[in-house]
Amino acid sequence: MKSIDEYKKIVITLKKKVKLLQQEQQDLKRLQQEKVYVYSDRYTAIKQLKKAAKKLGLTTEMFFRAADTKSMEIVTTKRLGEILKKVARLHENYVQELLNIFDVENSGSITKDEYYQTLEMYQINEEYGNNFNRNSYSKFIYFLKREQYDGIIGFIKMDPNKLGYITREMFVAFTQSLNNWQQYLTLREIYSAFQYMDISENDQISREEYLQAFEKLPALPQIQQIQEQKVNILRKVLLIKGVKLSSFVLELMLSIQKPELGITIEVFYNVAKQYLDKKETLAFFKLMDYQQKGSIDYDEIMSFYYMTMSYGDSFEIVFTILARKLQAMNKSIEKYLKQEQIYAETQLTLDQFNQIAQDLFNTPNYEISAKLFEAMDLDNSGIVSAQEIITYTNESLKNYSLLLRQKTQTQTTMLFEDFDSTQIEIANLDIEEQLLFELKKYKTTFSDKDRFENFQYIFTNEISCLVVCLQIVENLKFNKQKYWEDPEFGSNKLDPYGANSIFRIENLPVKGWPDPKDLCWQRISEICNDWVFMDENGANANDVIQSHYLGDCWLISALTIIAGNDQYLVDQNDISKGLYPKLFHFLSKYGIIVIKFNKMFRDVYVVIDDRFCTYNNKLLFAECRSEREWWVQIIEKAYAKLHNCYESLTSGDISQALFDCTGIPCTRYVIDENDNTKDPQEKKQQLLNLFQVGKQTNALMGCSAHGTGQVLLNGEETGLYRGHAYSILHYFHLKDAQSRIHKLIVLRNPWGFGEWKLKWSDYSIEMNENFQLIQAYFNEEIQRCEQNDIEPPDQYNLGDDGIFIMNFKSFQNIFNNLFMSVNLDEQWSVMRIYDSFTKEHLGTPNKNERSQAQYPYNNPRYTIRINHPFPNKKIYIALSQKDGRLDRFAKYPYEGKLVKIIMCLFQLQQNETELTKFQKPVLDSKLLSGRRDIDMEVFSVQNATYVLIPSAHKPNITGDYVISVFFDFPPNGIIIESSTEKQFLLQPKIFSSLMQNPTLLKLFNQL
């Protein structure tokens, strides 16, 4: 018994069907008045071909073989036309129509596969085709039914011993025991029917498999097959007209006037008449409206698209149809999934996805669901989150709305070559829309390679990043919204306090930090009315203030060092360079900020909004000293997003932050006072040399001391801390009044306070006696730098601002680590090697002879051949691993995430062709290191053959890495060959070609 509510629903449904049928009758009547008939010359031509073959006692396939006299499996349309005229004796009009059907691409030739597949599509193929097994199975079932053997009786007869299964021999024996079997089946068909039913492919058919196969066939699959074949006729017609299937479907979607009615016959006719003749339009409408209810609903459109998809067709249009379907239902994707007890954080396997895809996407079978799943599973993890479905659908709805608006604005029917590029009148667009149109000429499709890790708004190239940002702007304008809100980082509906962006574990705040419920995310404009990234004076080391909540002194110190050279922040000469490329500055008015970092020698573009976390109306994390400047806060937030949350920035070393922020490789030098293998004077001189090189090359430098807690020197408090990173701002020699030379170093504490307290500190005797000389030195240095167009140092001032001076001896006594960038001038080129350690690699050699002999052959091996007359040739080699910090739950120093590696460079003698065993290297990366980045010092090379071998600390270690081989001579003087068959391409010095386009350059200048 049905309830009253159920009967009410049935009545409402019937009323809707009546209304749709009435509308269809009106539309049919109007089309008949316009003399649109359901008739096609194609069908007549096909029937004539089959009739001619039957009359001659031939198969339809034989006409192709008659034309293909040389058995080339390809014929010209002219040759096939002659056969159809002379042999089949078809009228010239039918011949021409058939040639159009077979030669879809209008290429003038037809392959055997094209001919046979077309015959099969129209169901006039008479020789065995791809469906032979299925057809044999169908004939077998019909034969048994004719002999009045239903499923269970047939199986009992085949399995007299009650084994519960039947073998091939039992199957054949039973069939051949029936009367007149040869009139209906051949022996080959019997074997083929068994093969079709043997789902497990074990030469046995179980009772369940047999009964399922017996019941499932006849009528419905044949109807579905006929449906698919007829729909493919439409696809061929569209191809002949030069129209892509997705374009046709999207045009239908954009032409819908009443979402709740779907595609009515009037809408379909107005679109299809551009590509189909009047005789075909109504026929194809009825074909797509397979439920025969007077309109094509969204599920029918999806079915039509699935049936006619071919290799290379995108699933993006499916999300457009879904978005429109939900819009017609007046239901959000979130609400739809929630009804199925699926939430944003739900992780779906393929099987789970298939269950909802059948209803949500109307996928007809598991295969289509799997293809759709694969398209969404960008990282090949075998998991798709419900959030991805939500994001894709909502983005599709926004894009659909934008396309619909553009269609209305241009007042013309447009076809879209694909989901991302449109043919629109640029004159009607604003500057940003014009820019988006031009950029899509460079980038029309997106893949997993365009996005970094699993982030939706972190990109690996500037064009993809800019295109998506401009699409965000278009959506904001269309929805009349002022600012963008980043769904990946900061507060949102699912995470109202933004705890997931602050803490590694959302519900486990860091001890001593504020309760998430007391935090607020505010836009910059809510905190400061006239904010700037950097003020007119540029960045200054003293701008940077670290938060006392977050232990990211290593990053803040790196920013302090970078502040000494504004081009690392914003390059005034190249709009694609710098941490905050000028290319993206115009987006800030929409609350969109793009910061460019570097990971494994590749640029990474992090898109954030301009909301920042505050506590009691004060910024929770790092900030600039000036309220107007925001470069520190912005960079720290983008860096936190890149590594999943702010807490992930706890602990690190300066060199990694410098590398990530500049793309310049950095190295670490260990200052070990307890190293007795070297003479103290030698160690002092080596350190002095490093400072001299750093000053000459304008290197970025920092330092730290091992351990924890305050640093004591001879029992005295120094004001410095172990395990804390300090920036090195300047190194200079000062001549005092007695003509004594003092080697002095300017450093900075990222806290913005807390300074050195002993010799040469701000209020020491040394400073009191020499302060004027120090100021005079800096005045002269500033003047010299300005005259030579070099970034000058800041004048030194007294006060607890975190900046202090130490002499060289004190520095050597306190600090253990010196971090320094390796600045190579523009004449240097670089080759990148992207490779991996695998379980087959043995790692570093042991002392035994066998291990040393295996070493060159059981590790990655790169042969570097150098041959160029250029004198004084040098190379520099650096290796970088995937950052352990990218794992949200890993902690510094990421043991278990980073491979301990050593690199060795060997030189072959003139009579040697390969390295046969481990020997003393000419250069190495020192000790095994579990650091993310390792390198070998700049090295002078000869015209010779070298072998570079990176090795892990033990066997069976896996991990990706990239090696950069820098060299200061022409690229034709170096060849790199790999034992792992990798390709080595010269890294271009100019990474962006956008500004070579005058149209783009003009548009950027107008922003």
Instruction: Indicate the residue type of 222.
Output: Q
Q: pLDDT at position 35, please?
A: 42
Q: pLDDT at position 211, please?
A: 76
What's the whole-number mean pLDDT along residues 855-877? 93
What's the whole-number mean pLDDT along residues 536-558? 93
Position with higher pLDDT, 756 vs 405: 756
Statement: residue 795 has pLDDT above 70: yes
Q: pLDDT at position 555, please?
A: 97
Q: How far apart are CA 513 and CA 547, in angstroms?
A: 11
What's the whole-number mean pLDDT along residues 930-938? 93
How does residue 36 score in pLDDT terms, banded at 50, 70 and 90?
very low
What's the whole-number mean pLDDT along residues 788-803? 90
Selection from 202, 145, 210, 201 nearest residue 171 by Cα = 210
Instruction: Indicate the residue type of 275.
Output: Y
Residue 829, CB-side half-sphere exposure with 13 Å CA sphere: 14
Calculate the alpha carbon distances from 111 to 59, 74, 148 in Å.
Answer: 18, 4, 44
Q: pLDDT at position 128, please?
A: 47
Statement: residue 286 has pLDDT above 60: yes
Statement: residue 350 has pLDDT above 50: yes
Q: pLDDT at position 129, please?
A: 45
CA dihedral angle for residue 175, residue 181, residue 186, residue 192, rounded to 10 degrees:
-30
Selection from 583, 371, 619 nearest residue 459 by Cα = 583
Statement: residue 245 has pLDDT above 80: no
Statement: residue 392 has pLDDT above 50: yes
Position with higher pLDDT, 494 vs 742: 742
Q: pLDDT at position 465, please?
A: 92
Statement: residue 81 has pLDDT above 50: yes
Position with higher pLDDT, 575 vs 182: 575
Q: DSSP labels for 44-70? A: HHHHHHHHHHHHHT--THHHHHHH-TT
Statement: residue 993 has pLDDT above 60: no
Q: pLDDT at position 533, please?
A: 96
pLDDT tens profile 657-705:
999 999 999 999 998 766 666 788 888 999 999 999 999 999 999 999 9
Q: pLDDT at position 412, please?
A: 33
- Whether residue 760 contacts residue 593, with contact meaning beta carbons closer than 8 Å, is answered with no
Statement: residue 437 has pLDDT above 80: no
* Stated pTM of the model: 0.61
Give the lowest-confidence range in 211-225, 256-270, 514-528, 645-659: 211-225
Statement: residue 82 has pLDDT above 70: yes
pLDDT tens profile 648-657:
999 999 999 9
Statement: residue 415 has pLDDT above 50: no
Question: Looking at the annotation, which residues are catalytic?
Answer: 553, 724, 749
What's the whole-number mean pLDDT along residues 514-522? 95
Statement: residue 222 has pLDDT above 70: no
Q: pLDDT at position 263, please?
A: 81
Statement: residue 514 has pLDDT above 90: yes
Q: pLDDT at position 515, please?
A: 92
Instruction: Indicate the residue type of 297.
Output: D
- Whether residue 539 contacts residue 569, with contact meaning beta carbons closer than 8 Å, is answered with yes
What's the whole-number mean pLDDT along residues 132-153? 70
Q: pLDDT at position 333, please?
A: 85
What's the whole-number mean pLDDT along residues 162-174? 86
How does residue 374 score in pLDDT terms, banded at 50, 70 and 90?
confident
Statement: residue 12 has pLDDT above 80: no
Q: pLDDT at position 220, please?
A: 33
Contacts of 189 (CB under 8 A, 6+ apart): 136, 139, 140
Position with higher pLDDT, 970 vs 3: 970
Q: pLDDT at position 240, please?
A: 62
What's the whole-number mean pLDDT along residues 839-862? 87
Give the lowest-confidence range in 439-443, 860-864, 931-935, 950-954: 439-443
How does residue 753 score in pLDDT terms, banded at 50, 70 and 90?
very high
Position with higher pLDDT, 157 vs 668: 668
Give the lowest-confidence range in 10-14, 95-99, 713-717: 10-14
Position with higher pLDDT, 977 vs 249: 977
Q: pLDDT at position 608, please?
A: 98
Contacts of 173 (CB under 8 A, 6+ apart): none
What's the whole-number mean pLDDT along residues 912-916? 90
- Whether residue 227 contacts residue 290, with contact meaning beta carbons closer than 8 Å, is answered with yes
Position with higher pLDDT, 312 vs 789: 789
Selection from 695, 691, 698, 729 nearest residue 542 by Cα = 729
Choose from 197-201, 463-467, 621-625 the range with maximum mean pLDDT.
Answer: 621-625
Q: pLDDT at position 243, please?
A: 65
How does residue 586 score in pLDDT terms, banded at 50, 70 and 90?
very high
Q: pLDDT at position 14, please?
A: 53
What's the whole-number mean pLDDT along residues 637-657? 96
Q: How far apart are CA 644 and CA 202, in angstroms?
A: 49
Give the lowest-confidence range in 188-197, 307-316, 541-550, 636-645: 307-316
Q: pLDDT at position 931, please?
A: 92
Statement: residue 548 has pLDDT above 80: yes
Q: pLDDT at position 184, please?
A: 67
Average pLDDT, the chain: 82
How does residue 151 score in pLDDT terms, banded at 50, 70 and 90?
low
Structural domains in the chain, CATH included, are: 1-35+224-243+260-301 (no CATH), 41-121 (1.10.238.10), 132-217 (1.10.238), 462-664 (no CATH), 667-821 (3.90.70.10), 829-978 (2.60.120.380)
Tokens of 510: 């860091």
Q: pLDDT at position 372, please?
A: 84
Helix, strand, coil distribution of the chain in percent, nearest 5 = 45, 15, 40
Q: pLDDT at position 105, please?
A: 65
Give the lowest-confidence range in 58-72, 774-788, 923-937: 58-72
Provide the edge-to-edge strand list for the sheet that holds 611-615. Answer: 519-523, 611-615, 618-619
- Whether residue 940 contacts residue 899, with contact meaning beta carbons closer than 8 Å, is answered with no
Statement: residue 546 has pLDDT above 70: yes
How does residue 17 score in pLDDT terms, banded at 50, 70 and 90?
very low
Contacts of 253 (CB under 8 A, 6+ apart): 301, 320, 321, 324, 400
Q: pLDDT at position 389, please?
A: 84
Give the lowest-confidence range in 12-16, 103-107, 729-733: 12-16
Give the lowest-confidence range in 231-235, 243-247, 345-349, 452-456: 231-235
Statement: residue 25 has pLDDT above 60: no
What's the whole-number mean pLDDT along residues 723-741? 95
Q: pLDDT at position 343, please?
A: 78
